[in-house]
Structure 1
């Protein structure tokens, strides 16, 4: 014990080095600048006791002597603590445009119980030039008026020959890039008064392209240790540890109101839809919409192709940035996942890759955040919702709440956290085993995985799982239970064309014991939403806790939305959103009651399994195995295989495209209701914006529900009994009618 105390005391007496990086012209700090700290040695390899000028001039970096790597915080400083006494070299590891080939470093001598300060001052000399134009003409005297366009040009010394891989400029919303050189931005001034242009000038690491930034797709990085506060830049994905250094630039100006001009003669008058105001939950809805699209089969297929087949496959910028995180997660999971049977490596690797894809893309607050400023602003504009500025800024500064002094969380989860003040927050990998046995894992609180089980339910009603089961039974030479000899539609099909998939199908079939059963999924469907499957495999259903009111409440909300949209489209009427708000509160309450039992794990597990089923069915070999319809434009390659199997087996003839729409749109709608803090909202503005924001999804769900079940949720005069009828019952009735007509 005495030795332990002495070692701790010795560590406390050790010294430290603090490195600061800033612009010498403006004094602005350089945030996220990479600093490498080396132990100082002579060219002969002898440790230096002090900073000998001649030896320091001849110093060359040696990675074997690297003591630590740090990144400057919001104040432009980084601290290297607990250093043994001696000489150290602090090297700046980002580019300096004025001297691209130069290596900037300084020597510091560390003494026990002292902090040595090292300062790098670079004359970046950032310049912002703002001009104004009206009706495509430059304004004389450079005067700004509401309605004019403001054009900003940003430069730092020496940036002329540099491309975006070395230097990049990111402007804050509502400023948008103008031209292709990356230095010009523009916006339209919509209000009078003070205006500000803000941007970040980003400098790449030395010898490292911007696209190789680390941390992509991983949980939000917090400088200063776990739980430290996040900046708006970090939330925007602009500044993540290991990426580019950032220098903030800004320029202020005034915009005056135009003097009204008298107009005479014949005038045309038109009415527009009711104006609304931006609300602070717009960033959450945008993240939900973009994150669920990131989990789509199209992105999943591109990720697998990029991982296993072609690293240069064409993907979106967002997916390319997150690929680093997904690849790291895949490598970590692959080493931990094992299957207890032979010849299954192909399937094991596919399973690990799918888990990594879902892990990284389902986190609503994973870096880089799922914001696409140009597309997000265009989406809001189409919904007639004003853009109140940068969604990342609103998320960081207005929407997210701080719990336990430092952890950022969604407001709804913050309310839940305040109900449990006695339960500690645990950080995986940093606490003791006892802490991990009792506590709330920080990742679940600050970066929840947004997946709804309703997606899996509608995929199962669309016969995705049943199709794969029929194929694996044929693969094992099994006749379906209850089927007489000669009545199996697949009995006479030859499966030789599936030979290239033999190893994958073998692993999938052998792994059946480790997959969720239809019974387990069915009980969880009922616990979450009060819905259940219908069939021989799920008879003798005995649920302990069912959401019997969910269907009626959700369908009531959809009917209210139809009425709201009619009013909102009428330019002579201001649509009343209070009924929508009350319906949202009711659905939110019911959903929160079902967020227990297997809520945290079963939805993601079901998603992983069904994505793999889609990928297997989407393989070209199945196009030859099943009689698919080539001329039908299915959006995803697995879908025609499912419809072909349904035709062979005599199942429902409703296309799987409608069930896919129910899965996608239902998940987005329910996520926005579940994770919104609706119980604490009493003004209708947020419900008004919610209805407008999710209009394509709501009306898409209503149409798909009518196509699948025959119930039209858009007609007036709701039938409570019909609204509360289980979809599986309606589907069985339609199947019976289909078979009777046949």
Structure 2
């Protein structure tokens, strides 16, 4: 190994040191001087410009041995790690072979999904199907077709239902066609049919229409099957069709005969049927004999409930149906509407060559027999606590009003809207007990008002308003009022009412929304009235009710907001009013909107 050579500071060299020469690893050492004191370390080389000259450094044998030992340790560690890696590869291959030998473990996928709770089918759903089907059966579309088939079709047998009934074997087409041909022959031989008789024929046909379609009849018949069956399924002789998806909303897959059997069982069970529970208390006498309205046996009223609600007539009246007909009949008698300016209907001229003038003559002659505005208003207050507003409405002092209905019903709709919001969130199980309590409350309020004129006045009001709709849908009326042809009205009479509202300044809310309020409100109240909610304690029934009637609940909330400006589904507290606007009479909101629209119209002029 080469040692460190140093040059003396003095020229000519000097003695070289044998011991005490520092190695590169240990650094410079201190040598003793002759007098025993420390001597400064020798310089590493000659000083050139004040800087030491660089030196050559090499390692001794001990240091090389140390490095060799460290390298050997690294080699050994690498060998150990290589062995570990080899064993890990072998273990991985063994696991792969094990999984390949077990297909169930290697191919099965595990996943988690969030979904809403399943549909709940209860015994009450059969009643709901019947309510939905029969309310459709008494709609204006069905009524208009019934009147056309009965009074306008002069070709015997050319009706919509004849082919279906004949195919099912429950209709004697030959006998029916013979009777029909005889009736049309007699009518065609009449040179002049007075207006009074025309109207009486129309009223009789309307009452017959409601007699056929307005109730729940336990026996399976052609009428029920035709209403309930799936429209996509053809009418086959002796077949038992499925109930259409429009009515079987819970997907039970029930057939018409099964539905009727379950409906009979439901109506005969006091735990489910509200009317049966009333009969069980001794309020009605029921035995096995054939029921008759002239006898003391009221069993028919229990098993054949009348599926009509007066709230349908209330919303039709708020939609200006009766006011439109009244304005037409006043002008027909040449009576001015009152107030300054000309009558908006001054140009109404109905010539005698068309039939509408005869119907209006009979309609006016029957006025003493029709319901007055005051009688309907008093019954609205008795059953629902609802009031009318207008010049024709007298000051009322009802003996038995129902002021809690509006709060209970609107609270039910608010709870239902909250349930729908929670139910749409699949991470939440919505609580239906508040809805169940609200259903019980509304049911009790409805039961309190089901007395006196409960059956007859809704029937009579429906007959009269169906005839008013038919009169307003006549071509003569549409030609005179000249409604907006491009508006897609669901029913033919609506354009005349909207046109009259614009002529008279009765507001700008379309009658379509009032029709929806009438239709949806009737279905909801019928489902609440005839279910025995006071004895139902499971929230499953409330969940099923919410799922089945979701379209009606949401549609009613939307139409009410459009007509009155009040959002029934809003949970916000109204701090600006002394009372919640949801519990104020609809007529109050409608009057305010009417006055606001009139003020806006004057401001634009």
Would you say same fold, with TM above 0.5? yes
Alignment match of 1:457 (pick from 291, 314, 318): 314
Distance 1:665 1:401, change over 3 A: closer
Give 1:492 shift: 3.9
> 1:1-80 maps to which residues of 2 (within 5 A)?
none
The equivalent of 2:600 in structure 1 is: 741
Instruction: Give the number of aligned pairs.
Output: 461
The equivalent of 2:418 in structure 1 is: 563
- Higher helix proportion, which one? 2
Are residue 648 (structure 1) and residue 503 (structure 2) matched?
Answer: yes
Are residue 583 (structure 1) and residue 426 (structure 2) matched?
Answer: no
CA contact (8 A) 2:513 2:563 kept: yes
Distance 2:145 2:228 in 1: 20
Distance 2:172 2:325 in 1: 31
> 1:236-275 maps to which residues of 2 (within 5 A)?
264=107, 269-275=112-118
Deviations 1:416-469 (A, max 9, x none): 1112267466977x87xxx936x2433222211110000000000000000000
The equivalent of 1:378 in structure 2 is: 245
Distance 1:735 1:351 in 2: 34
The equivalent of 1:346 in structure 2 is: 198
Structure 1 unmatched ranges of 5 or more? 1-259, 335-340
CA contact (8 A) 2:315 2:518 kept: yes
TM-score normalised according to structure 1 size: 0.58
CA contact (8 A) 1:529 1:548 kept: yes
Deviations 1:156-188 (A, max 9, x none): xxxxxxxxxxxxxxxxxxxxxxxxxxxxxxxxx
> 1:214-233 maps to which residues of 2 (within 5 A)?
none
Distance 2:536 2:145 in 1: 40
Distance 1:734 1:316, change over 3 A: farther
Distance 2:273 2:395 in 1: 40
Distance 1:319 1:629, change over 3 A: farther
Give 1:268 shift: 6.2
Give 1:500 shift: 3.1
The equivalent of 1:419 in structure 2 is: 281
Secondary structure in 2 aligned to 1:597? coil
CA contact (8 A) 1:302 1:315 kept: no
Give 1:372 shift: 2.2
> 1:350-361 maps to which residues of 2 (within 5 A)?
350-361=202-213
Distance 1:402 1:284, change over 3 A: closer
Give 1:359 shift: 1.1
Distance 1:456 1:498 in 2: 33
Are residue 551 (structure 1) and residue 431 (structure 2) matched?
Answer: no
Distance 2:546 2:597 in 1: 36
The equivalent of 2:331 in structure 1 is: 474
> 1:661-680 maps to which residues of 2 (within 5 A)?
661-680=516-535
Distance 1:398 1:511, change over 3 A: closer
Give 1:393 shift: 3.2
The equivalent of 1:179 in structure 2 is: none
Q: Which has the larger radius of gyration?
A: 2
The equivalent of 1:168 in structure 2 is: none
Deviations 1:516-568 (A, max 9, x none): 00100000001010001101111211110111010111000001111101111
Distance 1:548 1:705 in 2: 19
Give 1:313 shift: 3.9
Distance 1:398 1:357 in 2: 23
CA contact (8 A) 1:400 1:409 kept: no
- Higher strand proportion, which one? 1
Distance 1:409 1:471 in 2: 50
Distance 1:295 1:427 in 2: 30
Distance 1:497 1:738 in 2: 38
Deviations 1:255-312 (A, max 9, x none): xxxxx96673766654321114321111100000010000000011111111122252
CA contact (8 A) 1:702 1:712 kept: yes
Alignment match of 1:610 (pick from 465, 478, 491): 465
Give 1:487 shift: 3.4
The equivalent of 1:180 in structure 2 is: none
CA contact (8 A) 2:119 2:547 kept: no
Alignment match of 2:214 (pick from 362, 367, 372): 362
> 1:302-317 maps to which residues of 2 (within 5 A)?
302-310=145-153, 311-314=157-160
The equivalent of 1:215 in structure 2 is: none
The equivalent of 1:191 in structure 2 is: none
Structure 2 unmatched ranges of 5 or more? 1-102, 184-192, 231-240
Distance 1:278 1:390, change over 3 A: farther
> 1:31-180 maps to which residues of 2 (within 5 A)?
none
CA contact (8 A) 2:284 2:297 kept: no
Distance 1:547 1:319 in 2: 45
CA contact (8 A) 2:389 2:588 kept: yes
CA contact (8 A) 2:309 2:526 kept: yes
Give 1:712 shift: 0.8
- Considering Cα pairs closer than 8 Å and 6+ residues apart, tell me whether 1 or 2 has the greater RCO: 2
Secondary structure in 1 aligned to 2:228? coil
Distance 1:669 1:317 in 2: 34
Give 1:394 shift: 6.0
CA contact (8 A) 1:489 1:649 kept: yes
Aligned alpha-carbon RMSD (Å): 3.3
The equivalent of 1:283 in structure 2 is: 126
CA contact (8 A) 2:517 2:559 kept: yes
Alignment match of 1:436 (pick from 271, 290, 294): 294
Give 1:498 shift: 8.5
Are residue 542 (structure 1) and residue 397 (structure 2) matched?
Answer: yes
